[in-house]
Structure 1
Amino acid sequence: MVLKTFGWSFAVTALGLVAAVFYGGWTAFGVVAILSVLEISLSFDNAVVNAGILKKMSPFWQKIFLTVGILIAVFGMRLVFPVVIVSISAQLGPIEAVDLALTDQNRYEELVTDAHPAIAAFGGMFLLMIFLDFIFEDRDIKWLGWLERPLAKLGKVDMLSVCIALIVLLITSMTFATHAHLHAGPADKAETVLLSGVAGLITYLVVGGLSGYFEDKLEEEEEREHEAEEEAVRAGKPRSAVVLAGKAAFFMFLYLEVLDASFSFDGVIGAFAITNDIVLMALGLGIGAMYVRSLTVYLVRQGTLDEYVYLEHGAHYAIGALAVILLVTIQYEISELITGSIGVLLIAASFWSSVRRNKALAAAESGSSGKTEVSSGV
């Protein structure tokens, strides 16, 4: 089952890591491995959400999402989008940016370094909004209850996450941005950071709005389908199940693609905190994207979406840590090892907490059943 589900991911991993060694030696191998793990950890909640929706779709539309969808996710968001970021930030054409990355890495690195304050502000704000919206939401399951309970109460205040994000952006523009790190030395990039941060915030709100739009369309279509079914039953007429199911599935597919893009966006932005090398970024994020798709299929087939309930929390805490790191790197350099390790450690901690929770629940159930048997025996 594991080999059947993750076979393509294993193959892509092997090819990607071998390509990294040939491209930049064992250092590149390590960077690609860290990026892959980071993408998987940040996108685990993506796989969970995708699986919850995908299981409602017909086998045909599941195949569409796992084939056409993977092309959009890997080649669109993970490969093309980093080029777009660099070309816009450094004011280069996409082809020129790719050519420069492959032929003159020193010049490319200088351009990316100069564009880093804008990239970090844009990405930091986008990631921060994802984290804030998650942490301020009142959830039934809480990992760090001592922290999440009071924050959930504060989250009842409208637009609190946006206000906090804007405050963080203002502080960043007045502190780190005034001594931003460029290849020629420190420089004042307060205006650039402020504008880029606002753009990141707007992008998050737009993506969230699109996701909500498609979700509403999906709910409307499902309601119409249900009403049509009831009307057909009352009239004693057959209904066009294929057409209605097709509409609902089509809106599901659109919603999934927008949702998947919004989740993958944080991995792409977060990758800039680890490396500016577009080739290594593409290899690492591509490998991670394959595992996210395989994990989605695995969760659907196994039906174990709720088994490790704290993993989503760990992933969002990792997103919050990356947001802070990106904003700090506007002025200070932070080791790639530290950046990658924080996300892995948070995911590992949430996984271990989930395992302990499951064991405690199993022990409690076992104890309750044992007491029942003793009572009945007496």
Structure 2
Amino acid sequence: MVVRIFGLSFVVTIAALVVAFLYGGVEALILTAILGVFEVTLSFDNAVINATVLRRMSDFWQKIFLTIGIVIAVFGMRLVFPLVIVWLASGLNPVEALDLALNPPPGDAAYFPGTNDPSYETIITDAHPQIAAFGGMFLLMLFLGFLFEEKELTWLTWIERPLERIGKLEMLEVVIAIGLLVLTASFIAPEDERSTVMIAGALGMITYILVNGLGEFFNVEVEDEVEELAHSSEGEQEAQKSNGRSGPSDLAKATGKAGFFLFLYLEVLDASFSFDGVIGAFAITADPILIALGLGLIGAMFVRSLTVYLVRKGTLSEYEYLEHGAHWAIGALALILLYSIGTHVPEIITGLIGLVLIVAALVSSIVRRKRQANETASV
């Protein structure tokens, strides 16, 4: 199973490293490898969350996520997205933005010698407040939604159970998210970025509410129709066929809509997770080709393979606290993104916090399984 799931990722990794070597020699190869490891380390919690959503999708939509989705992840978020930021922020057209990325000023200069024209890296870095506000609020809404929902199993029971009771208040997560956004814009964001941060953060919230809401809506429709079909007689189903219905059934259409919005939700989620990786990559290199090869081809491929492995292996069912740990990691990442609007946070800290929470959840899951096994053996 491991070879089948991760085989393509290893092949793509070798191909990406070869391309990097041909493109820029040994230095480019090393930088690409570092970027790949950097992305996988930052995105392990992303893989866990992806797996919780992916296991609700049909085989067809899982394949779409692993094919079309990877194209969006590699070329959309890791290559096109930074170019779009430069395009919008500088007024350059896409071709000029790409030329700016491929021809940076000599050394580590933020501006081209003898001009007031900012470099590609400078433009991306300057756009960090709105990027962090959008991604931070999207992830914060995801975390709060998990925190306030009723759960059969809790990890940090001493805090999760009281929050579940408080979460019965309607729209509490929206109130808290808006409050944190206002505090961020008022006290953390630079004065000249406050309105931009408010708008970007509001768009992040709107995106989450819209995409998640549509996914839940169509998912409920599917569950209702499945239950209805389960209680209908064979005669009723034959009658439906005789009415001249052709093409996909209503259930298939509903499943398709639900799968589409879950796919859309996953892509927005992946984008929110990748913001810090894309920005952090500039601490390693500003070359968009190497970023696309390292973060995109290597990093994104391994994250998707890891997601599939978690689903196929049933790891989330076997280690039941992993999902909890991933959501707490998301909450930490959301707060770090909001804080980073005013103060730089080293990417290593972001990655380590998420990794520590995931490992803690994994250890707790193992301890719980052993305790349950001992209780069963004693009976």
The Cα offsets for residues 290-313 of structure 1, whole Å up to 9 and x where unpaired, read as 234334443454444401111112
Question: Are residues 1:128 and 2:140 paired?
Answer: yes
Question: Are residues 1:204 and 2:212 paired?
Answer: no
- 1:247 and 1:328, CA in 2 relative to 1: closer, same or farther beyond 3 A? closer
1:171 corresponds to which of 183, 196, 201 = 183
- 1:138 and 1:84, CA in 2 relative to 1: closer, same or farther beyond 3 A? farther
2:130 corresponds to which of 81, 105, 118 = 118
Matches of 1:358 and 1:168, distance apart in 2: 37
The Cα offsets for residues 17-53 of structure 1, whole Å up to 9 and x where unpaired, read as 6639856464554343121222232231212321243
1:325 corresponds to which of 336, 351, 361 = 336
Question: Are residues 1:309 and 2:320 paired?
Answer: yes
Number of the residue aligned with 2:100: 100
Matches of 1:86 and 1:361, distance apart in 2: 54
Unaligned runs of 5+ in 2: 111-118
Number of the residue aligned with 2:357: 346
Question: Are residues 1:215 and 2:227 paired?
Answer: no
Question: Are residues 1:364 and 2:370 paired?
Answer: no
The Cα offsets for residues 194-249 of structure 1, whole Å up to 9 and x where unpaired, read as 22222222222222233234324534554565577633467698999984375455
Deviation at 1:72, TM superposition (A): 4.2
2:41 corresponds to which of 34, 37, 44 = 37
Q: What percentage of residue pairs aligned between the two structures are identical?
A: 45
Deviation at 1:90, TM superposition (A): 5.0
Comparing 114-123 and 27-36, the one that deviates more: 27-36
Matches of 2:131 and 2:260, distance apart in 1: 28
Question: Does the CA contact (< 8 Å) of 2:125 and 2:279 recur in 1?
Answer: no
Question: Are residues 1:137 and 2:153 paired?
Answer: no
- 1:247 and 1:193, CA in 2 relative to 1: closer, same or farther beyond 3 A? closer
- Residue identity opposite 2:147 in structure 1: I
Deviation at 1:281, TM superposition (A): 4.6
- 1:357 and 1:13, CA in 2 relative to 1: closer, same or farther beyond 3 A? farther
- 1:216 and 1:110, CA in 2 relative to 1: closer, same or farther beyond 3 A? same
Question: Does the CA contact (< 8 Å) of 2:215 and 2:258 recur in 1?
Answer: no
Matches of 1:62 and 1:127, distance apart in 2: 22
Question: Are residues 1:275 and 2:281 paired?
Answer: yes
Matches of 1:275 and 1:65, distance apart in 2: 24
- 1:200 and 1:151, CA in 2 relative to 1: closer, same or farther beyond 3 A? same
Matches of 1:82 and 1:42, distance apart in 2: 20
Matches of 2:365 and 2:3, distance apart in 1: 25
Matches of 1:316 and 1:82, distance apart in 2: 27
TM-score, reference length from structure 2: 0.80
Comparing 160-169 and 29-38, the one that deviates more: 29-38
Matches of 2:172 and 2:304, distance apart in 1: 33
The Cα offsets for residues 322-365 of structure 1, whole Å up to 9 and x where unpaired, read as 22222222222222221222212221221122122112211221
Question: Does the CA contact (< 8 Å) of 1:45 and 1:311 recur in 2?
Answer: no
Matches of 1:331 and 1:65, distance apart in 2: 35
Q: How many residues are paired up?
A: 356
Matches of 1:242 and 1:304, distance apart in 2: 37
Question: Does the CA contact (< 8 Å) of 1:9 and 1:291 recur in 2?
Answer: yes
Matches of 1:220 and 1:349, distance apart in 2: 37
1:159 corresponds to which of 146, 151, 171 = 171
Question: Does the CA contact (< 8 Å) of 1:79 and 1:286 recur in 2?
Answer: no
Question: Does the CA contact (< 8 Å) of 2:135 and 2:273 recur in 1?
Answer: no
Secondary structure at the counterpart of residue 318 of structure 1? helix
- Residue identity opposite 1:67 in structure 2: T
Secondary structure at the counterpart of residue 280 of structure 2? coil
